[in-house]
Amino acid sequence: MLAAKKDRGEAPGGGDTPAGPRHVAIIMDGNGRWAERKGVSRLEGHRAGVEAARRAVRAARDCGVTIVTLYSFSTENWSRPDWEVRHLLGLLRRFFREDLMELAGEGVRVRILGDHESLPPDLKKLVEEAEDSTAGNTAFTLQIAFNYGGRDEIVRAAASLARKAAAGGDAKVTEEALAAELDTAGVPDPDLVIRTSGEQRISNFLLWQAAYSEFIFLDLLWPDFGKRELEEAIAEFHRRERRYGGRKAKAASAP
């Protein structure tokens, strides 16, 4: 079920909101409940979730979206059982080994949001290599939030500004200065945030960037998400009126 319609409008800085959404962010929730309903292990649920992520990225590109951000592992997920954490880390390693080359060949830029420093050394190296090897690609941007938390991201950004000020840099704190220190620096904020599983909260995801995003909450579990669900969410986005603290303006005209 789509969430109730909300009103938004003119983009910050003036001007009409561009036809979109250009950037879609997704909270991929429900792998465990999907597995329980199917009578299979949680590991099978996570594997089915990875397949849904692949479908979502392909569908987004077909729908004209140019940036997708997927929330795959939060800073709070380390509290899960060790066996489950090991499996989730293994899925990310598998992504780098099996999907990255294909994505790179298709002009996809890969960015991994979150705290890289506390990742296992081999995974940290894979993350850095993935970002470096695809940095010049411009056809599509795939951001994967892994070991990510919105509050942690803002704290790290503020700490970076403080270090620069202590080293003699500009001590003035502005929205632009802080945004430039975020993991998403240089990438437009999400137009649309989708969450599956029926939960209606953002769970520490893109707290800064989603200030004026449209939100859609879906009752289905993440492994069941596909192109039809994305198309329906985008259609709902086009029907909404967006506000950025100003006058009402149509979010986008349906194609």
- The pLDDT, as a whole number, for residue 21 is 96
Asked whether residue 247 is marked as a ligand-binding residue, the answer is no
Q: Residue 162 above 90 pLDDT?
A: yes
Per-residue pLDDT tens over the stretch 235-248:
999 999 887 666 55
Task: Provide the whole-model pTM.
Answer: 0.86
Asked whether residue 222 is marked as a ligand-binding residue, the answer is no
Q: Residue 3 above 60 pLDDT?
A: no
Asked whether residue 201 is marked as a ligand-binding residue, the answer is yes
Q: How confident is the model at residue 9 (pLDDT cuts 50, 70, 90)?
A: very low
Asked whether residue 33 is marked as a ligand-binding residue, the answer is yes
- The pLDDT, as a whole number, for residue 8 is 39
Q: At what angle do helices 42-62 and 227-239 cross, to 10 degrees?
A: 50
Distance of CA 240 to the CA centre of its chain: 21
Known catalytic residue at 29 = yes
Give the whole-number percent of the chain exceeding pLDDT 90.
69
- The pLDDT, as a whole number, for residue 172 is 85
- The pLDDT, as a whole number, for residue 241 is 84
What token pair was written down for 133?
Answer: 């090897």
Within 10 angstroms of residue 74's Cβ, the number of other Cβ atoms is: 20
Q: Kindly report the CATH number that applies to the domain delimited by 7-149+189-245.
A: 3.40.1180.10
Task: Catalytic residue, from 7, 16, 62, 77: name it.
Answer: 77
Burial 19-51 (b: 16+ CB within 10 A, else e): ebbbbbbbbbbbbbbbbeeeeeebbebbbbbbe
Q: How confident is the model at residue 101 (pLDDT cuts 50, 70, 90)?
A: confident
- The pLDDT, as a whole number, for residue 242 is 80
Asked whether residue 39 is marked as a ligand-binding residue, the answer is no
- The pLDDT, as a whole number, for residue 94 is 86
Within 10 angstroms of residue 209's Cβ, the number of other Cβ atoms is: 23
Q: How confident is the model at residue 91 (pLDDT cuts 50, 70, 90)?
A: confident
What integer is the mean pLDDT of 210-224? 97
Q: How confident is the model at residue 5 (pLDDT cuts 50, 70, 90)?
A: very low
Task: Catalytic residue, from 7, 16, 29, 152: name it.
Answer: 29
More confident residue, 224 or 13: 224
Asked whether residue 58 is marked as a ligand-binding residue, the answer is no
What integer is the mean pLDDT of 45-52? 94
Which positions ≥6 away from 52 have C-beta within 8 Å?
28, 222, 223, 224, 225, 226
- The pLDDT, as a whole number, for residue 246 is 63
